[in-house]
Amino acid sequence: MTKNEMQHVFLGNVARLIRWMQEHYEGYWVVGGDLWRDREVYRQIGKGSGVSLHFERLALDIPMIDKEKKALVADSGVYRPAGEYWKSLHPLNRWGGDIPGDGNHFSMSPDGRI
């Protein structure tokens, strides 16, 4: 699969995931997140590893806000059902909750990176 084909499949999966999250997380607002990062900007400000799938448009952070607390959800465990659903959509999909502290991160990886 070419990079552009992968980006196309990834974005279609993201659309399915967002709809699924909106339907299954009744106590939360699913809000916009970080889809693409400019590698040069991140290099200039000294952030990022330089190998992020965000640079390739193959990763998205999807934060949620707890409606009652009016606060961002930081607990990766809350995202676990979404992570499991995400991984079921395609064999190359990876979920950030499989590593500590990145539950709102969803990616598609040709080489196993999260």
- For 51-88, the pLDDT digits (tens) are 788 888 999 999 999 999 999 999 999 999 999 999 99
SS3 state of residue 48: coil
- Amino acid in the structure at residue 76: S
Taking all residues of the chain, what is their mean pLDDT, rounded to a whole number?
Answer: 90
User: What is the reported pTM?
Assistant: 0.89
Q: Sign of the C-alpha dihedral, residues 55, 37, 63, 96?
A: positive
Residue 114 lies in a domain: no
Q: Give the CATH number of the domain where residue 82 resides.
A: 3.30.1380.10
Higher-scoring residue by pLDDT: 32, 51: 32
User: What pLDDT sits at residue 39?
Assistant: 60
Q: Which domain holds residue 66?
A: 3-108
